[in-house]
A and B are shown apart, each in its own frame.
Chain A
Amino acid sequence: MRTSPLDARHRSLGAKMVPFGGWDMPLSYGNGTVSEHLNCRSDAVVFDVSHLGTVRVEGGQAKELLQQALTNDLDKIAPGRAQYTHLLDTDASVLDDIIVWWIDEQTFDVMPNASNTSRVIEAISGQDTTESRAILAVQGPRARERVRTFSDKAADVPRFEVQRVEMFGTQCVVAGTGYTGEDGIEIAAPLNVAERIFDALLGAGITPAGLGARDTLRLEAGLPLHGHELGPGITPLHAGLGWVVAWNKGDFRGREALAKIRDAGLDRKLVGISTSGRRPPREGCSVVSHGNQIGTTTSGNFSPILNHGIAFAFVDLAHVEPGTEVSVDVRGTELPGHVVKTPFVKKRIG
Chain B
Amino acid sequence: MNIPSDLRYTKDHEWVKVSGRTARIGITDYAQDALGDVVFVELPQINASFSPGESISEVESTKSVSEIYTPLAGTVSAVNTALEETPELINSDPYGDGWLCELEIGDASSADSLLDAAAYRALVEN
Residue ranges of A at the interface with B (Cβ–Cβ < 8 Å): 16, 27-28, 32-35, 212, 215-216, 277-280, 282, 301-302, 304, 331
Contact = CB atoms under 8 A, between A and B. Distances in A.
19 contacts: A27-B36, A27-B63, A32-B36, A33-B36, A33-B37, A34-B62, A212-B36, A212-B62, A215-B62, A216-B62, A277-B40, A278-B40, A278-B84, A279-B60, A280-B39, A280-B40, A280-B60, A280-B62, A302-B62
Interface string B56-98: 0000111101000000000000000000100110010000000
B42 interface: yes
Contacts, number: 42
A35 B88 CA distance: 11
Sort chain B's interface into a size bin: 10 to 19
B63 A212 contact: yes
Contacts of B65: 282, 331
Interface SS of chain A: mixed
Nearest to B34: A16
B63 to A, nearest CB: 6
A27 B64 CA distance: 13
B91 A32 contact: yes
A33 B42 contact: no
A279 B40 contact: yes
B36 A302 contact: no
A216 B37 CA distance: 12
Contacts of A277: 40
A216 B91 CA distance: 19
A302 B40 CA distance: 9
Contacts of A35: 37
